[in-house]
Chain A
Amino acid sequence: MKPLLRIENLSVYAGDRPLLENLSLSLCRGERLTILGETGAGKSILIQAIMGLLPPSLRASGSIQIDGRDLATLSRRELECLWGRRLAMLPQEPWHALDPLMRAGRQVAEVYACVLRQDAERAAANARRDLAGVGLEQAGDKLPGQLSGGMAQRLAFCAATAGGAQIVLADEPTKGLDADRRDHIAELLRRKGEEGCVLTISHDLEVARRIGGRVLVMRGGRPLEEGPAEQVLNAPTTDYSCRLIQAAPGHWPRIERRADGEPGPAVLEARGLAKRHGGKRLFQGLDLRVGRGEILGLVGDSGCGKSSLGDILLGLLAPDAGQVARAPGIARHRYLKLYQDPPAAFAADIPLGRLFADLLRLHRLDASRLPPLLERLRLHPTLLERPAHEVSGGELQRLAIARALLLEPVFLFADEPVSRLDPITAREVVQLLTSVATEHRCALLLVSHDPELVERVCKRTLRLG
């Protein structure tokens, strides 16, 4: 059978530095391939290269063929004609990829109308059918801002594939989704892979397992190991694959859950908190006491109010009822938050080094504390020369952690801090975060969609919803 997508010896360089080296793969109809690997391993670059969307500063060699046609021989116009019709790309950040002012149904219907030239009625009917197919029949009239992350990703899936593309490329499509929603997206991709072919990039092993097909492990831009999903995931042959698979939260060592551990003096006490959002009750009559150095987990489905609760505790959001008391005599800036979306937490166009320098100056901190902190978070100091948008999401989240730790917080609300990191880095970051929090006697409220992760590192878990 002729492959739909065939890549031979693809290499991508930034100057002389290779981001991706000698990658070859081919996908025929009905095939699914999931690429696993650490953040910054050139995985996202691969999808950009296939779409013809590589930034001009990068140089590529090798060949990419779609339906047997080499992309290098196509004009820009011919390449763009493949988008939506032959090639579909699932965005990494569905919220950002959807038009914030257009209702959900129309974002799908417009593909039928503009790309497939159907009349408005038929396009709308097809869009309704697609949305119903992914469980979004109620959401057609909603704006993207009113959708949860999982709903936004399903909407993006419908919009991306409505043009009839057979080759689906998905770049970390389940990032930040809780287990149920993640499995739902994986199932959509698996089904799509039966009629066309699907290339997924992920660092979630469960996604790879559910999509099935083949798995390719990459490290440092180089392919390391390839084989059927079950085989690679259950019996990896390379040392790195072993570590990658061992790094899934399910394999982490359990911490001792001591009921008798004496809690430190309270840094934060909340009584009778209640919050409603969009006509839905998130929580009511919630009491919470956080002691110094305590590591507390917070789990629940997406949209259940985890982030709202953290924001209320920090005083960023007002509760509908109840009150929050912070320990007296501690500066407000030592109650901090690690954001879910690191690019949104940094000014985009200013070199990170200057942001850090400003912070050090503002709080009159000792600049020599920064380098060891960066080293512990596996961050190269040269990253500080770049602005936030030129740094990968994983690195940026580690920088955000470094930035928070500089201020010696007494309470840190970490909102899904590792949902964007590959398992090895995630494990390292969570372990570092929890150990530093314990060392500095900083209380940590760790929010995660992954109950397993929370269970492994937190002594106490709060479940919402």
Chain B
Amino acid sequence: MIHLFLKRLGQAAFVCWSVGTLGFALMRLLPGDMAFRIAAGRYGYDQVNLAAAEAVRAELGLDRPAWRLYLEWLFDLLRLDLGDSLVSGLPVLGEILHLLGHTLLLAGAAMLIAILIAVPVGLFAAFRAEGWFDRAALVASAFLRAQPVFVIGLLLLLIFALELRLFPVAGFDGARYLVLPAIALALSMAAVSNRVVRHSAGAVIASAFFAFARVKGLSFAQAFVRHGLRNGALPVLAFLGIQLAGAIEGIVMIESLFSWPGLGHGLAHAVFNRDVPMIQGAAMTLGLIFVGLNLAVDLACHLVDPRGRSDE
């Protein structure tokens, strides 16, 4: 158990270092003068001129060698100081904490909806394997999964926001704003996970221990609740850990599409403005969310499966 925590902690440290370093290197490799782009971000493209760019360069010390800037950043990271935003001048940490709340709300709502869709659909398809419902679920899953998540978002926007005017188009000002982005993200996640649930439940129903439970005299429902759920949950949980990477990617796209004031949206803005500390901070936080969720999945597996527990 402690071993698991230490492993995840090591992963978290590695994520911070690698994501930050990658962001640092990539921003320097992009074409164009960095000081000029940052100045443009601050004052707007109409106002910016060479003098403003030089002022920015001098202020941020961008004329110093890259390795010095990198080492400074690394040292600050060790002190948990993510620096100040190049655009707003505010500490990155504060901005990120503000955005993080919105992202977690969106991600949490999306996951909840995804579970509410994927588990019943997957189970029902497994109980009637190869029936019409199973086939329809397969086709729908393939169709949804084949779309990039922003296409699903756009479709929802067109239908429910622009045509039917049921929900607002973008921004955040109350629960109604949450509905469309959360559903778009949830549909994309549920498209694969309902098939994983279906296969996992199907495998359990076909297993020898399920057959034996029936022969012992248990009804189908009793056997499924007592033996199917736990055994079937394990592969689903394992898959969830993998799917989270895709969910993070989806969050960036959906937040940008719906102008949701979260980390993904903040990250996209920071990229356009060459706001390097902000990019590093936002990407790092998304990476840490991924590690944290994986830890949650590990803990869930540990609770469900008594076999690997070290105390036995």
Chain B 199-232 near chain A by CB (<8 Å), digits 1 or 0: 0000000011101111111110010001100110
B-facing residues in A381-429 (Cβ within 8 Å): none
Point out the residues of chain A lying under 8 angstroms from B306, CB to CB. Answer: 101, 103, 143
Asked if B176 is at the interface (CB within 8 A of a chain A CB), the reply is: no
Query: In the complex, how many residue pairs between chain A and chain B have their CB atoms under 8 Å apart?
Result: 76
Give 1 or 0 for each of B249-283: 1 = CB within 8 Å of chain A CB: 00000000000000000000000000000000000
Structural contact, B208 and A91, CB atoms closer than 8 A: yes
Q: Taking A97-B211, A101-B231 as contacts, is the C-beta distance between A111 and B216 under 8 angstroms?
A: yes
Q: Does B304 contact A (CB under 8 A)?
A: yes
Could you say which residues of chain B place their CB within 8 Å of the CB of A201? none
- In the complex the two chains form, is A99's CB within 8 Å of B231's CB? yes
CB of B68 closer than 8 Å to a CB of A: no
CB distance from A152 to the nearest CB of B (A): 11
* Assembly CA distance A87 to B215 (angstroms): 8
A101 touches B217 (CB 8 A): no
Given known pairs A143-B306, A145-B307, the reply for A97 and B209 (CB within 8 Å) is yes
B305 within 8 A of A: yes
Are B212 and A156 touching (Cβ within 8 A)?
A: yes
CB neighbours (8 Å) of B312 from chain A are 146
Residue A335 at the B interface, CB < 8 A?
no
**B contact residues around A98 at 8 Å (CB):** 209, 212
B215 near A160: Cβ-Cβ < 8 Å: yes
In the complex with contacts A91-B212, A100-B307, A156-B212, A114-B227 CB distance below 8 A: no
The answer to whether the Cβ of A21 comes within 8 Å of any Cβ in the partner chain is: no
Give every chain A residue within 8 A of B211 (Cβ-Cβ): 53, 97
Flag whether A159 is at the interface (Cβ < 8 A): yes
Number of A residues with CB within 8 Å of any CB on chain B: 32
Question: Which residues in window 178-212 of B have CB below 8 A to A?
Answer: 207-209, 211-212
Interface window among A78-86, A132-140, A365-373: A78-86
The contact of B215 among A89, A99, A114, by CB within 8 Å, is A89
Complex alpha-carbon distance, A103 and B305, angstroms: 11
Residue pair B212, A101 in contact (C-beta under 8 Å): no
Say yes or no for A96: interface residue by CB 8 A criterion.
Answer: yes
User: Could you say which of A51, A96, A101, A115 contacts B216, with CB atoms under 8 Å apart?
Assistant: A115
Q: Contact: A97 with B218, CB < 8 Å? A: no
- The answer to whether the Cβ of A42 comes within 8 Å of any Cβ in the partner chain is no
In angstroms, Cα B211 to Cα A97, docked, is 8
A162–B216 CB distance below 8 A: yes
Contacts of B214 in A (CB 8 A): 80, 83
- Residues of chain A contacted by B304 (CB below 8 angstroms): 101
Expressed in whole angstroms, the minimum distance between the Cβ of A167 and any Cβ of chain B is 12
> How many whole Å from A437's CB to the nearest CB in chain B?
33
Nearest-CB distance from A374 to chain B (Å)?
29
The docked-state distance in angstroms from the alpha carbon of A91 to that of B304 is 26
5 interchain pairs, CB-CB under 8 A: A83-B215, A84-B215, A99-B227, A101-B307, A156-B212
Given contacts A115-B218, A159-B216, 8 further A-B contacts (CB under 8 A): A51-B215, A80-B219, A83-B214, A84-B215, A96-B208, A96-B209, A98-B209, A100-B231
Where the two chains meet, the residues of B that have a C-beta atom closer than 8 Å to any C-beta of A are 207-209, 211-219, 222, 226-227, 230-231, 304-307, 312
Q: Which 8 A-B pairs have the closest CB atoms?
A: A84-B217, A115-B217, A97-B212, A96-B208, A163-B217, A99-B227, A84-B216, A89-B215
